Structure 1
Amino acid sequence: MTTRRTPTLAVFKLASCDGCQLTLLNCEDELLALAGEVKVAHFLEASSAVEPGPYDLTLVEGSITTPEDAERIHTIRAASRRLVTIGACATAGGVQALRNFADVDDYRRVVYAHPEYVATLATSTPVSAHVPVDFELRGCPIDRRQLLEVITAYLAGRKPDIPGHSVCFECKRRGTVCVTVADGTPCLGPVTHAGCGALCPAYRRGCFGCFGPAATVNLPALIPLLRRDGLDEDAVGRFLHTFNAAAFDKELKP
Structure 2
Amino acid sequence: MAPKLAVFKLASCDGCQLTLLDCEDELLALAGEVEIAHFLEATSTVQPGPYDLSLVEGSVTTPSDAERIRQIRAASRHLVTIGACATAGGIQSLRNFADVDEFRRTVYAHPEYIETLATSTPVSAHVDVDFELRGCPIDRRQLIEVLTAFLAGRKPDIPDHSVCFECKRRGTVCVTVAHGTPCLGPVTHAGCGALCPAYHRGCFGCFGPSGSVNLPALIPVLRRDGMDDEAVERFLHTFNAPAFDKELGK
Same fold (TM over 0.5): yes
Amino acid at match of 1:217: V
Matched with 2:148 is 152
Query: In the alignment, is residue 68 of structure 1 matched against residue 64 of structure 2?
Result: yes
Q: Deviations over 1:154-176 (max 9, x none)?
A: 00000000000000000000000
Structure 2: which 5+ residue stretches go unaligned? none
Could you tell me how far apart the structure 2 residues matched to 1:130 and 1:138 are? 18
Matched with 1:78 is 74
Superposition TM-score, scaled by structure 1 size: 0.98
Partner secondary structure for residue 89 of structure 1: helix
Matched with 2:234 is 238
Partner secondary structure for residue 51 of structure 2: coil
Q: Where in structure 2 are the equivalents of 1:110-149 lying within 5 Å?
A: 110-149=106-145
Could you tell me how far apart the structure 1 residues matched to 2:103 and 2:200 are? 35
Could you tell me how far apart the structure 1 residues matched to 2:154 and 2:164 are? 27
- Pick the aligned partner of 1:208 from 201, 204, 209: 204
Could you tell me how far apart the structure 2 residues matched to 1:177 and 1:127 are? 37
Amino acid at match of 1:20: C
Matched with 1:35 is 31
Could you tell me how far apart the structure 1 residues matched to 2:94 and 2:194 are? 25
Matched with 1:180 is 176
Matched with 2:243 is 247
Q: Deviations over 1:206-247 (max 9, x none)?
A: 000000000111110000000000110011000001011211
Amino acid at match of 2:175: V
Could you tell me how far apart the structure 1 residues matched to 2:105 and 2:191 are? 38
Partner secondary structure for residue 56 of structure 1: strand
Matched with 2:101 is 105
Superposition TM-score, scaled by structure 2 size: 0.99
Could you tell me how far apart the structure 1 residues matched to 2:106 and 2:83 are? 28
Partner secondary structure for residue 57 of structure 1: strand
Partner secondary structure for residue 73 of structure 2: helix
Kindly state the Cα deviation for residue 112 of structure 1 after the two structures are TM-superposed.
1.2
Partner secondary structure for residue 233 of structure 2: helix
Matched with 1:90 is 86
Amino acid at match of 1:248: F
Kindly state the Cα deviation for residue 253 of structure 1 after the two structures are TM-superposed.
1.5
Could you tell me how far apart the structure 2 residues matched to 1:223 and 1:110 are? 34
Could you tell me how far apart the structure 1 residues matched to 2:179 and 2:120 are? 36
Partner secondary structure for residue 82 of structure 1: strand
Structure 1: which 5+ residue stretches go unaligned? none
Kindly state the Cα deviation for residue 109 of structure 1 after the two structures are TM-superposed.
1.4
Kindly state the Cα deviation for residue 104 of structure 1 after the two structures are TM-superposed.
0.4
Could you tell me how far apart the structure 1 residues matched to 2:209 and 2:19 are? 21
- Pick the aligned partner of 1:15 from 11, 14, 18: 11
Matched with 1:191 is 187
Matched with 2:159 is 163
CA RMSD of aligned residues (A): 0.7
Could you tell me how far apart the structure 2 residues matched to 1:107 and 1:149 are? 40
Runs of 4+ residues over 2 Å off in structure 1: none
Could you tell me how far apart the structure 1 residues matched to 2:51 and 2:197 are? 39
Partner secondary structure for residue 99 of structure 1: helix
Could you tell me how far apart the structure 1 residues matched to 2:141 and 2:98 are? 36
Kindly state the Cα deviation for residue 114 of structure 1 after the two structures are TM-superposed.
1.0
Amino acid at match of 2:40: L
